[in-house]
Amino acid sequence: GIALINVNRRIQLIFGEEYGLNVYSRRNVGTDVEITLPLMQKE
């Protein structure tokens, strides 16, 4: 709960509001966690 909210806020502060965590949970099925980060290329 609180840790995932903290991680989501940190990602959004660093990369912007369009990035972060999404959690999808269905009873008796399971939980998926989607992490959206920008693609960063080495210069």
Q: So where are the chain's domains?
A: 2-36
* Both structure tokens of 21: 């965590």
Given this model, what pLDDT does residue 28 score? 97
Q: DSSP class of residue 7? A: H
Given this model, what pLDDT does residue 1 score? 82
**Helix, strand, coil shares, percent, the chain, to 5:** 35, 35, 35
Q: Chunk the chain into consecutive blocks of 10 residues (it has 43) and report each block's average pLDDT, rounded to whole numbers.
A: 95 98 96 96 87
CA nearest neighbour of 12 among 3, 24, 21: 21
Given this model, what pLDDT does residue 43 score? 82
Give the predicted TM-score (pTM) of the model. Answer: 0.78
Q: DSSP class of residue 10? A: H
Angle made by CA atoms 20, 31, 37, in degrees to the nearest 5:
20
